[in-house]
Chain A
Amino acid sequence: MKLSLTKVVNGCRLGKIKNLGKTGDRTMDIPGCLLYTKTGCAPHLTHHTLHSIHGVPAMAQLTLSSLAEYHEVLTEYKEGVGKFIGMPESLLYCSLHDPVSPCPAGYVTNKSVSVWGVGGRVEMTASKFMAIQQALQPDWFQCLSDGEASCAEASSIKRVRKSVDRSLLFLDHCLRLQEESEVLQKSTIIGVIEGGDVMEERLRSARETAKRPVGGFLLDGFQGNPTTLEARLDLLSSVTAELPEDKPRLVLSWMLAELHGRQNWSAGVLQQNGTQEEKQYVDQSKKMKTASGNQEMTPFEINLKEKKYREDFDPLVRGCSCYCCKNHTRAYIHHLLVTNELLAGVLLMIHNFEHYFGFFHSIREALKSDRLAQLKELIRRQA
Chain B
Amino acid sequence: MAAASNATSLESAPRILRLVAECSRSRARAGELRLPHGPVATPVFMPVGTQATMKGITAEQLDALGCRICLGNTYHLGLRPGPELIQKAQGLHGFMNWPHNLLTDSGGFQMVSLVSLSEVTEEGVRFRSPYDGDETLLSPERSVEIQNALGSDIIMQLDDVVSSTVTGPRVEEAMYRSVRWLDRCIAAHRRQDKQNLFAIIQGGLDADLRAACLEEMTKRDVPGFAIGGLSGGESKDQFWRMVALSTSRLPKDKPRYLMGVGYATDLVVCVALGCDMFDCVFPTRTARFGSALVPTGNLQLKKKQFQKDFRPIDPKCACPTCQKHSRAFLHALLHSDNTAALHHLTVHNIAYQLQLMGALRASIMEKRFPEFVRDFMDTMYGDPTLYPTWATEALASVGISLT
**A: which residues have CB within 8 A of B?**
38-49, 52, 66, 70, 72-73, 76-77, 84-86, 118-119, 310-311, 313, 323, 327-329, 331-332, 335-336, 338-339, 341-343, 345-347
Per the bound structure, the CA–CA distance linking A38 and B332 in Å amounts to 11
Please tell me if B15 contacts chain A, counting CB pairs below 8 Å.
no
Cβ-neighbour of B338 out of A43, A77, A338 (below 8 A): A43
Whether the pair B338, A41 counts as a contact (CB closer than 8 A) is yes
Whether the pair B336, A66 counts as a contact (CB closer than 8 A) is yes
Whether the pair B344, A46 counts as a contact (CB closer than 8 A) is yes
Whether the pair B88, A49 counts as a contact (CB closer than 8 A) is no
Whether the pair B308, A38 counts as a contact (CB closer than 8 A) is no
- Shortest distance between the CB of B67 and any CB in chain A (Å): 14
Per the bound structure, the CA–CA distance linking A62 and B340 in Å amounts to 15
Whether the pair B338, A86 counts as a contact (CB closer than 8 A) is no
Given known A40-B333, A44-B343, A73-B332, contact A86–B325 (CB-CB < 8 A): yes
Per the bound structure, the CA–CA distance linking A44 and B346 in Å amounts to 13
Whether the pair B51, A46 counts as a contact (CB closer than 8 A) is no
Please tell me if B58 contacts chain A, counting CB pairs below 8 Å.
yes
Per the bound structure, the CA–CA distance linking A42 and B328 in Å amounts to 17
Interface residues of B in 60-115 (CB under 8 A from A): 60-61, 64, 76, 80-81, 85, 88-89, 95-97
* 20 more CB-based (< 8 A) A-B contacts, given A40-B333, A346-B58: A40-B329, A44-B338, A44-B343, A46-B340, A49-B58, A49-B343, A73-B308, A84-B326, A311-B85, A313-B88, A327-B60, A331-B95, A332-B96, A335-B95, A341-B55, A343-B53, A343-B56, A343-B57, A346-B339, A347-B58
Whether the pair A42, B89 counts as a contact (CB closer than 8 A) is no
Please tell me if B324 contacts chain A, counting CB pairs below 8 Å.
yes
- Shortest distance between the CB of A157 and any CB in chain B (Å): 37
**What residues on A are CB-neighbors of B55 within 8 Å?**
341-343
Whether the pair A39, B89 counts as a contact (CB closer than 8 A) is no
Per the bound structure, the CA–CA distance linking A69 and B301 in Å amounts to 17
Given known A46-B320, A310-B81, A345-B339, contact A77–B328 (CB-CB < 8 A): yes
Please tell me if B59 contacts chain A, counting CB pairs below 8 Å.
yes
Q: List 5 A-B contacts (CB under 8 A).
A: A44-B339, A46-B347, A77-B328, A336-B53, A342-B343
Interface hub of B59, B308, B321 (most chain A Cβ within 10 A): B308
- Shortest distance between the CB of A101 and any CB in chain B (Å): 10
List the A residue with the shortest CB-CB distance to B55. A342
**What residues on B are CB-neighbors of A338 within 8 Å?**
80-81
Please tell me if B387 contacts chain A, counting CB pairs below 8 Å.
no
Interface residues of B in 19-59 (CB under 8 A from A): 51-59
Please tell me if B263 contacts chain A, counting CB pairs below 8 Å.
no
**What residues on A are CB-neighbors of B339 within 8 Å?**
43-44, 342, 345-346
Cβ-neighbour of B89 out of A48, A76, A332, A341 (below 8 A): A332
Whether the pair B333, A39 counts as a contact (CB closer than 8 A) is yes
Given known A339-B51, A339-B80, contact A44–B329 (CB-CB < 8 A): no
**What residues on A are CB-neighbors of B97 within 8 Å?**
327-328, 332
Per the bound structure, the CA–CA distance linking A327 and B96 in Å amounts to 9
**What residues on B are CB-neighbors of A118 within 8 Å?**
335-336
List the A residue with the shortest CB-CB distance to B61. A48
**What residues on A are CB-neighbors of B343 within 8 Å?**
44-46, 49, 342, 346
Please tell me if B286 contacts chain A, counting CB pairs below 8 Å.
no
Please tell me if B134 contacts chain A, counting CB pairs below 8 Å.
no
